[in-house]
């Protein structure tokens, strides 16, 4: 039993009250039917995260039961108390057959429980289920523990990153979407100095950015340069991204932008709200981040300038061609407790149920609801009905039960998009999957990283900003890297490489993003 589990065993009576409250607003675990034919159907109990104010109606649940030939007992637990309920269920031996973790981050905190043998290893079974076998190998790899697969995952886009820019400004200056880093610099320079808004004033900048080296502009542009995603391979050894020459080139690029005034000078202390404010008020022409933000940015921008036009772009060629950093590709995972599934036969029944959930028919029921009641189909795409309460009551909670997603479920309906830039953004998000840069350490382990990794990363983040702002030079930056190594970084490198070498052959297929110059 892990330290975290022991902590919940010792919770006072208030914890028991919370558990009772969770059960009180959830549907019962056991089936209320005594019909003999129903008792012959597989019974599947599920604990799921509730993101809405109320437990949903059983409209979609009954459809799922009918289509899959199962009896379902879904325990909906409010998001705010979900982790507590999970650990309390472990401590009291009351886990369901299917356990959803709260979110992607929960998996990293749950590895001790997985290693303890509480859950089935499902990797050897997936090839027997055609829909489950469509899950992406690179994402499944990211969910493994010690080289073994225990979970299914809910899909999230692997990379939404790209460029949102003022197309009306570009057209006025005779510029096209930048195909290279050199062209990107040229766009930022001319958006700053060539009066792109035509008002005769020197009041614009090229790039608006914020105090976030990951979800701001830095990491995406760094991936254009060819920098690895957090960690990469250098001379057959895993090394952190900031030890690679491409990371230094990215810092020099941003230092140049800062020195020349092509970026908001206070970006290291700028919030996301203020970053977007510069864009929607016409002070900046380029926003680097999630391309899906284009819909909200355009609506706010047009409120200030009805003639403004936005476009999105994702392919910026660097020294190694195209590249963009990838997320882990999942929102949460599903585990299968051995205490509730004692036999392999029962495990296969549950996996067969999830194989059916990944059919287009059931995926559309869970995501969209009932055609004609919750949505209509227009030109092969889904348009949700204009009834927020109906969707919240009947459909939205069941989206939390889905496995896979649009890129792994053939025939799952896409939403109707009336905005041209948003529609293009969705296409480019899929296009990003042609040149992803993955983090090879996601499925690996380093005890030292778990202890001090976040603090050491903060030190390197500060050093990055210091270099960009001209507070330190290359020698000063290298001194910070040496401090990182001395304070525990060298041990982290050692442990990640040991974890890689000791892992199963599954990891032999991890693509190496080599950067040796």
Nearest in space to 287 (alpha carbons), one of 378, 216, 195: 216
Whether 87 contacts 18, CB under 8 Å = no
Nearest in space to 228 (alpha carbons), one of 239, 214, 213: 239
Query: pLDDT by residue (tens digit) across 36-91?
Result: 345 678 999 999 999 888 899 999 999 999 999 999 999 999 988 898 999 999 99
Query: pLDDT by residue (tens digit) across 98-136?
Result: 999 998 888 888 888 999 999 999 999 999 999 999 999
Nearest in space to 283 (alpha carbons), one of 369, 231, 207: 207
Looking only at the bridges linking them, the beta strands covering 71-78 and 43-50 are parallel
Planar angle of CA 64, 68, 73, nearest 5 degrees: 55
Give the Cα separation of 329 and 436 in Å (integer). 11
pLDDT of 38? 53
Does residue 27 have a pLDDT over 60? Answer: no
Q: At what angle do helices 82-92 and 13-24 cross, to 10 degrees?
A: 110
| CB burial string 366-386: b at 16+ within 10 A, e below | bbbbeeeebbeeeeeebbbee
pTM of the entire predicted model: 0.80
Give the Cα separation of 227 and 513 in Å (integer). 9
pLDDT band at 35 (very low <50, low <70, confident <90, very high): very low
Whether 46 contacts 71, CB under 8 Å = no
Helix H or strand E segment including 240: strand 237-240
Give the Cα separation of 298 and 421 in Å (integer). 9
Residues 6+ apart with CB under 8 A from 321: 435
Residues 6+ apart with CB under 8 A from 10: none
Looking only at the bridges linking them, the beta strands covering 237-240 and 324-325 are unpaired
pLDDT of 8? 38
Residues 6+ apart with CB under 8 A from 238: 231, 232, 440, 441, 444, 493, 496, 497, 500
What residues form DSSP beta bridges with 313? 163
Q: At what angle do helices 245-260 and 181-193 cross, to 10 degrees?
A: 10
What residues form DSSP beta bridges with 237? 234
Coil vs helix vs strand at 264: coil
Give the Cα separation of 502 and 147 in Å (integer). 9
Coil vs helix vs strand at 34: coil
Phi, psi (rounded to 5 degrees) for 367: -90, -40
Residue 157's Cβ-side half-sphere holds a number of Cα atoms within 13 Å equal to 17
The burial of 343, by beta-carbon neighbours within 10 Å (0-12 exposed, 13-18 middle, 19 or more buried), is given as: exposed
Looking only at the bridges linking them, the beta strands covering 205-208 and 436-437 are unpaired
Where is average pLDDT lowest: 178-182, 184-188, 197-201, 413-417?
A: 413-417
DSSP 8-state class, residue 489: I
DSSP 8-state class, residue 333: E
pLDDT band at 385 (very low <50, low <70, confident <90, very high): confident
Kindly tell me the sign of the dihedral angle through the C-alpha atoms of 306, 308, 314, 315: positive
Query: pLDDT by residue (tens digit) across 440-481?
Result: 998 888 999 988 998 999 999 999 999 999 999 999 999 999
Distances (CA, A) of 356 to 29, 66, 70, 125, 276: 22, 12, 11, 15, 42
Planar angle of CA 500, 506, 511, nearest 5 degrees: 70
Where is average pLDDT lowest: 168-172, 369-373, 508-512?
A: 508-512
Whether 126 contacts 354, CB under 8 Å = no
Query: pLDDT by residue (tens digit) across 235-280?
Result: 889 999 999 999 999 999 999 999 999 999 999 999 999 999 999 9
Give the Cα separation of 286 and 270 in Å (integer). 16
Coil vs helix vs strand at 426: helix
DSSP 8-state class, residue 127: G
Question: Tokens 């525990």, residue?
Answer: 488
Give the Cα separation of 267 and 351 in Å (integer). 48
Nearest in space to 131 (alpha carbons), one of 98, 148, 155, 107: 155
Planar angle of CA 445, 450, 455, nearest 5 degrees: 135
């Amino acid at each position: 039993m892990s330290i975290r589990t022991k902590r919940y065993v010792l919770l006072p009576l208030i914890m028991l009250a919370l558990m009772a409250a969770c059960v009180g607003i959830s549907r019962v675990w056991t089936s209320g039917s005594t019909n003999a034919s129903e008792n012959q159907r597989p019974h599947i109990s599920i604990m799921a995260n509730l993101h809405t104010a109320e437990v949903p109606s059983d409209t979609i649940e009954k459809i799922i039961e009918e289509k899959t030939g199962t009896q379902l007992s879904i325990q909906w637990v409010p998001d705010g108390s979900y982790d507590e309920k999970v650990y309390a269920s472990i401590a009291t031996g009351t886990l369901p057959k299917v356990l959803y973790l709260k979110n992607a981050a929960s998996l990293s905190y749950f590895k001790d429980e997985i290693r303890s043998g509480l859950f089935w290893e499902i990797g050897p079974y997936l090839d027997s289920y055609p829909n489950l076998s469509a899950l992406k190998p690179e994402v499944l790899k990211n969910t493994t523990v010690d080289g073994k697969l225990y979970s299914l995952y809910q899909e999230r886009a692997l990379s939404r990153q790209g460029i949102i820019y003022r197309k009306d400004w570009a057209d006025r200056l005779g510029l096209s979407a930048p195909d290279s880093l050199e062209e990107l610099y040229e766009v930022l320079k001319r958006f700053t100095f060539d009066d792109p808004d035509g008002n005769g004033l020197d009041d614009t900048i090229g790039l608006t950015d914020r105090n976030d080296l990951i979800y701001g502009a830095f990491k995406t542009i760094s991936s254009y340069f060819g920098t690895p995603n957090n960690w990469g391979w250098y001379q057959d050894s895993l090394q952190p991204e900031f030890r690679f020459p491409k990371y230094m080139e990215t810092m020099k690029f941003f230092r140049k932008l800062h020195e020349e005034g092509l970026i908001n000078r206070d970006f290291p202390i700028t919030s996301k709200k203020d970053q977007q404010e510069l864009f929607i008020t016409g002070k900046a022409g380029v926003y680097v981040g999630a391309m899906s933000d284009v819909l909200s940015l355009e609506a706010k921008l047009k409120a200030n300038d009805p003639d403004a036009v936005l476009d999105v772009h994702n392919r910026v060629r660097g020294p190694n061609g195209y590249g963009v950093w990838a997320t882990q590709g999942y929102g949460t995972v599903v585990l299968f407790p051995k205490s509730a599934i004692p036999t392999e036969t029962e495990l296969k029944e549950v996996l067969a149920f999830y194989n059916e959930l990944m059919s287009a028919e059931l995926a559309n029921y869970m995501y969209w609801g009932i055609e004609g009641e919750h949505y209509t189909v227009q030109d092969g795409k889904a348009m949700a009905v204009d009834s927020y309460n109906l969707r919240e009551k009947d459909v939205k909670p069941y989206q939390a039960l889905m496995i896979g997603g649009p890129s792994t479920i053939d025939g799952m309906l896409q939403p109707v998009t009336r905005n041209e830039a948003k529609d293009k953004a969705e296409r480019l998000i899929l296009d990003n999957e042609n040149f992803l840069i993955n983090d090879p350490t996601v499925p690996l382990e380093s005890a030292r990283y778990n202890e001090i990794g976040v603090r050491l990363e903060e030190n390197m983040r500060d050093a990055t900003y210091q270099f960009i702002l001209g507070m330190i030079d290359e020698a000063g930056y290298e001194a910070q890297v040496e401090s990182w190594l001395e304070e525990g970084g060298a041990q982290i490198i050692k442990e990640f490489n040991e974890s890689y070498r000791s892992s199963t052959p599954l990891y032999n297929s991890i693509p190496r993003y080599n950067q040796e110059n």
